[in-house]
Amino acid sequence: MCEIRLLFPVHMRTFFQDDTWQSGLEEIRVRVGQPIEFCYGSDNCYLTGKEKEQLFCSEKDYRRWEKDLYHATEADLREMLNYISNYSLYAYKEEIKQGYITIEGGHRVGVAGQTVLVDGKIAGISPIMFLNIRIAHEKCGCARKILPLIRQRDSIYNTLILSMPGAGKTTLLRDSIRALSNGEAYGIRLKVCVVDERSEIAASFHGVPQNDMGPRTDVMDGCGKAEGMQLLIRSMSPQIIAVDELGAESDFYAVEQALNCGSRVLGTIHAGNMKELSEKPYLKRWMERRLFQRFIFLEKEADGRRKMQVYDEHMERITC
């Protein structure tokens, strides 16, 4: 987690103790004029302004300790944005328009503030007053339970992983890719091609994945999902195409093309519950045509644990 520590202003780095980066850290929220919040699975930590001290407290203790907490300043955010962008924020203008910057290690920094509009469209965000550092997790073995349920002979059923943001879709997708590629899943090493638009799945640095993606995995990094799927079908003969956060109309059209070419698709999509599947036009069409045969719904429980429910193409529950 050294790269995360180095995103903070120099004067703040001495505040942190080694256990700041303990297992379970999911997000770091930095808001101008507000305490800096470290979000773990079921608890939060608020940074004090006292060197070498750190406060872990539940929400009920927040008011009691509020006067002792460190409040982020505009200067803090400006310095952090310099480190996040390697002093070249302009180079990330396309990502910023989408509300995030991806950094080394696959961590994504969400940004918010005053939008800049040109011809009614978002051209940028300036000033940026809010940051959300989402910590990338590599949890080997977390997909073990669901792999037998998505197997179809020597491959997989076309499968969608669904959840609200922050429930672990990408983590589950990443581990599934690794297991399918290295033969851990079925004893057969499958060719998996990954479209990693935001560098979150493989965490590529200069094109080289930093996460374990398996020996038979090819990664198209920093490419739009629709274009990436088409390129991989033409050039890499994938048995499985893996893609994160399907959403745009072009994404759904590209998925249908991939299915028509004989590739299996393993993807993720935002959905709060299973009912939302029938409320999204493209997903409703897929369900009617039964293009996908497995749906994995993830929920994050109050204690931070994840609950998985698996459904077939008839929306009948499969034991997980």
- 31 C-beta neighbours (distance < 10 Å), count: 16
pTM listed for this prediction: 0.78
3-class secondary structure per residue, 99-145: CEEECCCCCEEEEEEEEEEECCEEEEEEEEEEEEEECCCCCCCCCCC
pLDDT at 57: 65
pLDDT at 69: 86
Helix, strand, coil % in the chain, rounded to nearest 5: 30, 30, 40
pLDDT at 53: 56
Phi–psi pair at 3, nearest 5 degrees: -65, -30
Q: Cα–Cα distance between 283 and 11 in angstroms, integer?
A: 49
pLDDT at 169: 92
Tokens of residue 151, six digits: 């197997």
Tokens of residue 191, six digits: 């060719």
Which DSSP symbol is given to 85?
Answer: T
Q: Are the C-beta atoms of 100 and 199 separated by less than 8 Å?
A: no
Instruction: Give mean pLDDT in consecutive 10-residue pieces for the chain, a chain of 320 residues.
Output: 84 73 81 91 76 61 79 96 93 86 83 92 92 87 94 95 88 96 94 90 82 95 91 95 90 90 94 78 83 92 81 86
- 135 C-beta neighbours (distance < 10 Å), count: 18
User: Residue 4 is inside which H or E element, if any?
Assistant: helix 2-5
The single residue listed with the structure tokens 């989408």 is 98
Greatest Cα pair distance in the chain? 61
